[in-house]
Amino acid sequence: MLGVVRKKMLGQSLLKIRPAVSMLRSYSSAAKQMTVRDALNSALDEEMSADQKVFLMGEEVGEYQGAYKISKGLLEKYGPERVLDTPITEAGFAGIAVGAAYHGLKPVVEFMTFNFSMQAIDHIINSAAKSNYMSAGQMSVPIVFRGPNGAAAGVGAQHSQCYAAWYASCPGLKVLTPYSSEDARGLLKAAIRDPDPVVFLENELLYGESFSVSDEVLDSSFCLPIGKAKIERVGRDVTITAFSKMVGHALKAAEILEKDGIDAEVINLRSIRPLDRSTINASVRKTNRLITVEEGFPQHGVGAEICASVVEESFAYLDAPVERIAGADVPMPYAANLERLAVPQVEDIVRAVKRACYRSVPLAAAA
Amino acid sequence: MATAFSTAKFSTQPFPLNPTSTTSHDSSIVFARPTSQFLGSTRKFRLTSSSKFNLSRRSKTVVAVSDVVKQKKSKSSPSLLITKEEGLDLYEDMVLGRAFEDMCAQMYYRGKMFGFVHLYNGQEAVSTGFIKLLKQQDSVVSTYRDHVHALSKGVPARAVMSELFGKTTGCCRGQGGSMHMFSREHNLLGGFAFIGEGIPVATGAAFTSKYKREVLKEADCDHVTLAFFGDGTCNNGQFFECLNMAALWKLPIVFVVENNLWAIGMSHLRATSDPHIYKKGPAFGMPGIHVDGMDVLKVREVAKEAIGRARRGEGPTLVECETYRFRGHSLADPDELRDPAEKARYAARDPITALKKYLIENSLASEAELKTIEKKIDEVVEDAVEFADESPVPSRSQLLENVFADPKGFGIGPDGRYRCEDPKFTEGTAHV
């Protein structure tokens, strides 16, 4: 792969040209560690420096350096015209960002958590997602709505909902769920460059986690394609699909299962809409068993859609019923032990895989 | 015919919309520092006793014109507010709006139009008064009652009519409909069905204008945005959120309230704790003006000031236009709750008739010239209907088009291989 030199060089570009590897096909194999937080910060930084139309808007993104420090340092670098601290008016500023996007600017709207996006959901769906269609292509909306999604630790029912299924059901939106730092960087860059509205669902508990990243990930033109899943671990016996935090759980479950002789294939979905049905189906046709894992509520969730897709396209290949592992069908409780019961754990995944592989007797659905 | 501007009509209203305040004097200004006392609309009732459109006194009845402008007017000899060309232009625009909407009603009852259709009869003065002062690059954001805003902004009547018929030659290829008129070319940013939804979008368009000037360094970018919405919207949270942010960031926007006193069947007075909408402007730090929305010349004067303010970078303005819709909320509305006497009162103040009278009395146009305009408009509307009738319906393949600007999912090229927007990016560093 040729080293890439950014063509777009504006005033204060942060571009780091890597001369040593620019002509070599392979990058150096020494892997760096990078937290998801730094990955997101660097992606925002690079996109803002490359294109002056990109600006960041949200509560506490400026002087507070970001409610979760994702936008640290950006206010100093780009000034208050491009990093805007807003009043607490989700509906208002989401709409303002959509209006700016109609005129070709590229807003990145941060919701402190996606629970607060419900105050602005009219704008996300009605004026962002549907506009390209209603105007027959005249108004495209190159906007990114990002923020932490899903359960954190002990934050209670109103701060813990997962919105992947809600937003992914709406045509006109692209919904992304990064897991590792590589995902975070690549998908956020792709989202900002994308001419359509993107809902970018991060996870607060992943912000501090470190992942190793190769040099190509650190390159400023690194971009991951939207709509492609990643096979994190290749296996033969069962397919486990997951996104966001649950990918980590699935990988740990796979390690445990390996000792029992079950070789699990773990798919990191990365993109909930458009869903990478071909990768999932190809995997199921290989392994013949499927477990879907998600953190959100079970009814009408992401797992339900994946199950339907597999039944429609690969029914003959299934050797066992598809199992959905999802959060408990209750608003998130506060007590720590109840919260642990309400969110899928590694043991739940292990048990489900064993059931699917006929290694144990199926228990009742409320495992 | 009763004078269009007598105070008599207000005395019959149960709730005095404006307490009489004859002590207010001309020198009070509404466009002054936002922290000053609001002094605008109480002066509305200092109307001339004369039943004619007396010019010099007329300027004093125009509410909220700044001090400077007023002084100039009273010093100079009574001059007309508009030239002949402007007058004919305004007349033509209003007649187009009226004729078009009447034709919509006819077509609806013949089954050519369907769904929700909201007509603008009676409110033409607001649309014409404001939009005719804009440039092409200025933006207009409207609600579901947007046909006439589209026409005033320059969208051809043919395109609007085809859109209403659901044909592929419509301004949105039939995919939007009556409530979702968009035109990139004319900077009409919609057409929103949810009330209050357009206000933040308009604020965002104004934000873009400021951003282009300050960040992208397009020094002469002084585009203004107009947001049109109704009295019911003024109780909605998004309205207040945007008044706050527009004033906070001094955005070049004018919030135009078309107060037609009714939100479907809910009277404004029953729904609002303080029905004086213009007062809500100064609460957020911007001027709030009340103007008679049945008089296109008054609206135009106020609009000139407000748009001028925005263009100069002085920030937003809230303009409340008191107007009335002659038809029901939509063509499906039986309109039983409104008092026929109220309707008759406002019908007597028809803005088109009023402008016609003004033009003729001030020798700006003859009866014949105006008749020619009316005939021309009739032909335009007939032609629009014919065009729409003969246009094809969208093809089946159009159903799945336009959902995304980049349908493949960004980063995946049409050949299925990964690509990136960066032109230098060859095979892509991203490997699954």
Q: What is the tens place of the pLDDT at every residue in B208-218? A: 999 999 999 88
Chain A 198-227, residues with CB within 8 Å of chain B CB atoms: 216-217, 219, 221-227
Q: What percent of chain A has pLDDT over 70?
A: 90
Q: Kindly tell me if the per-residue pLDDT of A168 is higher than 90.
A: yes
Q: Kindly tell me if the per-residue pLDDT of B239 is higher than 90.
A: yes
Q: Which residues contact A61 (CB under 8 A, 6 or more apart)?
A: A67, A71, A74, A75, A83, A84, A85, A110
Closest to B207 (Cβ–Cβ): which among A99, A133, A136?
A99
Q: Kindly tell me if the per-residue pLDDT of A259 is higher than 50.
A: yes
Q: Does A91 touch chain B (CB under 8 A)?
A: yes
* Amino acid present at A307: C
Average pLDDT of chain B is 82
Measuring CA to CA, which residue among B372, B353, B355 is closest to residue B364?
Answer: B355
Q: Does A74 touch chain B (CB under 8 A)?
A: no
CA B73 to chain centre: 27
Q: Does B409 touch chain A (CB under 8 A)?
A: yes
Q: Does A133 touch chain B (CB under 8 A)?
A: yes
User: Pairing mode, if any, of strands A210-213 and A32-35?
Assistant: antiparallel
- Which pLDDT band, with edges at 50, 70 and 90, does B81 fall under? confident
Top-confidence residue, A232 or B60: A232
Contact A249, A264 (CB under 8 A): no
CB-CB under 8 Å, B203 with A92: yes
* Amino acid present at A243: F
User: Pairing mode, if any, of strands B225-230 and B139-141?
Assistant: parallel
Alpha helical stretches, state H, B76-143: 84-109, 124-131
Q: How many helices (H) and strands (E) does chain B have?
A: 15, 7
Per-residue pLDDT, A18: 42
The DSSP code sequence of B295-360 is -HHHHHHHHHHHHHHHHHT---EEEEEE---SS-SSTT----SS-HHHHHHHHTT-HHHHHHHHHH
Measuring CA to CA, which residue among B297, B289, B299 is closest to residue B320?
Answer: B289
Q: Kindly tell me if the per-residue pLDDT of A206 is higher than 70.
A: yes
- Cα of B248 to nearest chain A Cα, Å: 10
Closest to B424 (Cβ–Cβ): which among A4, A127, A217?
A4
Give the residue on A whose Cα is nearest the Cα of B412.
A225
- Cα of B263 to nearest chain A Cα, Å: 21
Per-residue pLDDT, B21: 39
CB-CB under 8 Å, A139 with B182: yes
User: Which two three-digit tokens encode residue B96?
Assistant: 């187009």
User: Which two three-digit tokens encode residue A114?
Assistant: 């996606």
Interval A100-128 mean pLDDT: 96
Per-residue pLDDT, B416: 62
User: What does the alpha-carbon distance between residue B265 and residue B284 come to, in Å, rounded to a whole number?
Assistant: 29
Per-residue pLDDT, B37: 37
Measuring CA to CA, which residue among B342, B351, B297, B356 is closest to residue B98?
Answer: B351
- Cα of B139 to nearest chain A Cα, Å: 10
- Which pLDDT band, with edges at 50, 70 and 90, does B420 fall under? low
Contact B387, B113 (CB under 8 A): no
Contact B286, B317 (CB under 8 A): yes
B384-410 pLDDT per residue, tens: 999 999 999 999 888 888 888 887 777
Interval A71-92 mean pLDDT: 94
Contact A325, A293 (CB under 8 A): yes
Q: Does A228 touch chain B (CB under 8 A)?
A: yes
Contact B354, B295 (CB under 8 A): yes
Q: Kindly tell me if the per-residue pLDDT of A74 is higher than 80.
A: yes
Chain B 177-216, residues with CB within 8 Å of chain A CB atoms: 180, 182-184, 189-194, 197, 199-209, 211, 214-216
Give the residue on A whose Cα is nearest the Cα of B421.
A193
User: Which two three-digit tokens encode residue A253?
Assistant: 């479950």
Contacts of A226 in chain B (CB under 8 A): 409-412
Chain A 296-355, residues with CB within 8 Å of chain B CB atoms: none
CB-CB under 8 Å, A229 with B244: no
Chain A 245-304, residues with CB within 8 Å of chain B CB atoms: 271, 274
- Which pLDDT band, with edges at 50, 70 and 90, does A142 fall under? very high
Interval A232-245 mean pLDDT: 96
Per-residue pLDDT, A367: 47
Q: Does B400 touch chain A (CB under 8 A)?
A: no
CB-CB under 8 Å, B418 with A4: no
- Cα of A169 to nearest chain B Cα, Å: 13
Q: Does A190 touch chain B (CB under 8 A)?
A: yes
Per-residue pLDDT, B3: 39
Q: Does B417 touch chain A (CB under 8 A)?
A: no
Interval B60-66 mean pLDDT: 41
Q: Does B304 touch chain A (CB under 8 A)?
A: no
Per-residue pLDDT, B40: 38
Burial A70-89 (b: 16+ CB within 10 A, else e): bbbebbeebeeebbbebeeb
Contact A196, A132 (CB under 8 A): yes
CB-CB under 8 Å, B205 with A102: yes
- Cα of A227 to nearest chain B Cα, Å: 6
Q: Does A22 touch chain B (CB under 8 A)?
A: no
CA B395 to chain centre: 34
User: Which two three-digit tokens encode residue B65?
Assistant: 């014109």
Distance between first and last Cα of chain A: 48
CB-CB under 8 Å, A96 with B203: yes
Burial B391-421 (b: 16+ CB within 10 A, else e): beebeeeeeebbbbbbbbbbbbeeeeebbbb
Per-residue pLDDT, A361: 59
- Cα of B275 to nearest chain A Cα, Å: 23
Interval A335-349 mean pLDDT: 94
Measuring CA to CA, which residue among A153, A162, A116 is closest to residue A326?
Answer: A162
How many pairs of residues across A and B have Cβ atoms under 8 Å apart? Answer: 228
Contacts of B406 in chain A (CB under 8 A): 194-196
Q: Kindly tell me if the per-residue pLDDT of B345 is higher than 90.
A: yes
CA B366 to chain centre: 28
Interval B69-76 mean pLDDT: 40
B118-152 pLDDT per residue, tens: 999 999 999 999 999 999 999 999 999 999 999 99
Closest to B432 (Cβ–Cβ): which among A1, A81, A228?
A228
Contacts of B184 in chain A (CB under 8 A): 135, 138-139
User: What does the alpha-carbon distance between residue B239 and residue A89 come to, in Å, rounded to a whole number?
Assistant: 11
Per-residue pLDDT, B275: 94
Q: Kindly tell me if the per-residue pLDDT of A7 is higher than 70.
A: no
- Active-site choice (A46, A110, A159, A295): A159
Q: How many helices (H) and strands (E) does chain A have?
A: 13, 14
Q: Kindly tell me if the per-residue pLDDT of B244 is higher than 50.
A: yes
Beta partners for A290?
A239
Closest to A230 (Cβ–Cβ): which among B211, B412, B432?
B432
Contacts of A4 in chain B (CB under 8 A): 422, 424-426, 429
Burial A36-62 (b: 16+ CB within 10 A, else e): bbbbbbbbbbbbbbbebbbbbbbbbbb
User: What does the alpha-carbon distance between residue A199 and residue A222 come to, in Å, rounded to a whole number?
Assistant: 20
Side-chain-side CA neighbours of residue A102 (13 Å): 37
Handedness of CA A98, B193, B300, B70 (dihedral sign): negative
CB-CB under 8 Å, B412 with A225: yes
Three-state SS for A198?
Answer: strand
Q: Kindly tell me if the per-residue pLDDT of A287 is higher than 70.
A: yes
Per-residue pLDDT, B225: 97
Q: Kindly tell me if the per-residue pLDDT of B9 is higher than 80.
A: no
Top-confidence residue, B358 or A2: B358
Interval A258-264 mean pLDDT: 95
CB-CB under 8 Å, A89 with B420: no
- Which pLDDT band, with edges at 50, 70 and 90, does B227 fall under? very high
Contact A129, A197 (CB under 8 A): yes
Three-state SS for B413?
Answer: coil
CB-CB under 8 Å, A97 with B189: no
Beta partners for A56?
A83, A108
Q: What is the ipTM of this complex?
A: 0.80
- Active-site choice (A46, A90, A182, A339): A90
Q: Reply yes or no on whether A159 is catalytic.
A: yes
Reduced 3-state DSSP string for B192-223: CCCCCCHHHHHHHHHHHHHHHHHCCCCCCCCC
Helix B367-390 × helix B351-361 angle, to 10°: 140
Cα→Cα distances B280→A206, B153, B172, B274, Å: 44, 28, 35, 9
CB-CB under 8 Å, A2 with B248: no
Contacts of B139 in chain A (CB under 8 A): 103
Q: Does B116 touch chain A (CB under 8 A)?
A: no
Query: Running DSSP on this structure, what letter comes out for residue A271?
Result: E
* Amino acid present at A292: T
CB-CB under 8 Å, A231 with B197: no
B86-117 pLDDT per residue, tens: 999 999 999 999 999 999 999 999 999 988 99
Residue of B225, B404, B417, B424 to mutate for A, most A C-beta atoms under 10 A: B404
Contacts of A12 in chain B (CB under 8 A): none
Residue of A59, A103, A130 to mutate for B, most B C-beta atoms under 10 A: A103
Distance between first and last Cα of chain B: 79
Contact A110, A59 (CB under 8 A): yes
Q: Which residues contact B396 (CB under 8 A, 6 or more apart)?
A: none
Per-residue pLDDT, B60: 39
Do you find a cis peptide bond into A19, omega within 30 degrees of 0?
no
